[in-house]
Amino acid sequence: MSNPTPTLHTTTANDPVTGVARQVGFFTDTSVCIGCKACEVACKQWNQLPDDGFSLTAKSFDNTIDLSATTWRHVGFIERDEPVSGQETNLGDPFSWLFIADSCKHCEDAGCLDNCPTGALVRTEYDTVYVQPDICNGCGTCVVSCPFGVIDKHPTDGRAWKCTMCYDRLKDDETPACAQACPTEAIAFGELSELRERADVRLAELHDRGVAEARLYGAHDDDLPGTRGLHAFYLLLDSPDVYSLPTNPVAPQKTVNEGWRSMAGALGAMAAGVAVAMLSGRRAR
């Protein structure tokens, strides 16, 4: 990987007016995504990421397939045998395309960050999750700790890589490359609170137009309690699983207490079983 490693700030990026720490993010509106992949290209160009090859995958018109160590923004193509509400295709049979410009979610409760043993993953002054490649030792703990399957180890250098939300551009008060390149503004970047308001307005607008299947994914903290909200959230036109998104993602640290309780219950049952066996043995004598 040859992409530059920006230096992390040690101070908090406060809003100049309110003085409150900034929380920035992405709102991806799949209802206006046209599948052009401009965001993919811009991400690769800015971050100096290699191409993923040009072979046909036989999966629609998508040749990148998924997020990886070298693809930090991926546009998925979904073909359905049903239209979006109110849509007329003039194709005879019902049909619709769904697109999603997917990326790291920069979770509030981030499994990758909380389970990293070296401190390579940190939360920046913009409240985004960032991998410090000079500290990453390639252990892969973060990879198995991400409920979205986002973070990935590079096959050559073995380190973990993912979307940085263009941290180097944020330092210069610039929009991340993917959002800057999007021709339909399907990827909106900005203050998280403003994006959430925008998402709520857009959802209400679609519902008023009869698109009842429209829904938000991860926009608010109580939407996905297992990750306590996403800093890169979506408006979808079908259920999350259609977009290959988990319906109830849970960061591993959320299940630790449950795991300990289960283990304690199992040990208790085992101890009770041993005690009963010992008593039965004594009586038999």
pLDDT band at 260 (very low <50, low <70, confident <90, very high): very low
Binding residues for [4Fe-4S] cluster: 33, 36, 39, 43, 104, 107, 112, 116, 136, 139, 142, 146, 163, 166, 178, 182
Whether residue 259 is predicted with pLDDT greater than 50 in this model: the reply is no
Find out whether 7 and 72 touch, Cβ atoms under 8 Å. no
The per-residue pLDDT for 249 is: 95
The mean pLDDT of 165-188, rounded to a whole number, is 98
Structure tokens at 103: 């990326």
Whether residue 18 is predicted with pLDDT greater than 60 in this model: the reply is no
pLDDT band at 164 (very low <50, low <70, confident <90, very high): very high
The per-residue pLDDT for 257 is: 47
Strand duo 73-80 + 96-103: pairing:
antiparallel
The mean pLDDT of 187-212, rounded to a whole number, is 97
Q: Quick one: what percent of the chain has pLDDT higher than 90?
A: 69
Whether residue 59 is predicted with pLDDT greater than 90 in this model: the reply is no
H/E segment holding residue 153: strand 152-153
Q: Is 170 helix (H, G, I), strand (E, B) or coil?
A: helix
Higher-confidence residue: 246 or 58? 246
The least confident of 20-34, 79-93, 123-137, 240-254 is 79-93
Binding residues: 33, 36, 39, 43, 104, 107, 112, 116, 136, 139, 142, 146, 163, 166, 178, 182
Residues forming a β-bridge with 24: 191
C-alpha to C-alpha distance for 283 and 277, rounded to whole angstroms: 10
Higher-confidence residue: 69 or 272? 69
Question: What sign results for the dihedral spanned by CA atoms 41, 131, 69, 73?
Answer: negative
Higher-confidence residue: 9 or 10? 9
Whether residue 280 is predicted with pLDDT greater than 90 in this model: the reply is no
Picking from 220, 222, 6, the residue whose alpha carbon sits closest to that of residue 124 is: 6
Tell me what the pLDDT averaged over the chain comes to: 87
Structure tokens at 106: 């920069």
Whether residue 283 is predicted with pLDDT greater than 70 in this model: the reply is no
* pLDDT tens string 138-156: 999 999 999 999 999 999 9
The per-residue pLDDT for 52 is: 84
Strand duo 232-236 + 24-29: pairing:
parallel
The per-residue pLDDT for 203 is: 98
Whether residue 265 is predicted with pLDDT greater than 60 in this model: the reply is no
The per-residue pLDDT for 88 is: 80
Whether residue 26 is predicted with pLDDT greater than 50 in this model: the reply is yes
Whether residue 105 is predicted with pLDDT greater than 70 in this model: the reply is yes
pLDDT band at 275 (very low <50, low <70, confident <90, very high): low
C-alpha to C-alpha distance for 165 and 170, rounded to whole angstroms: 8
pTM: 0.84
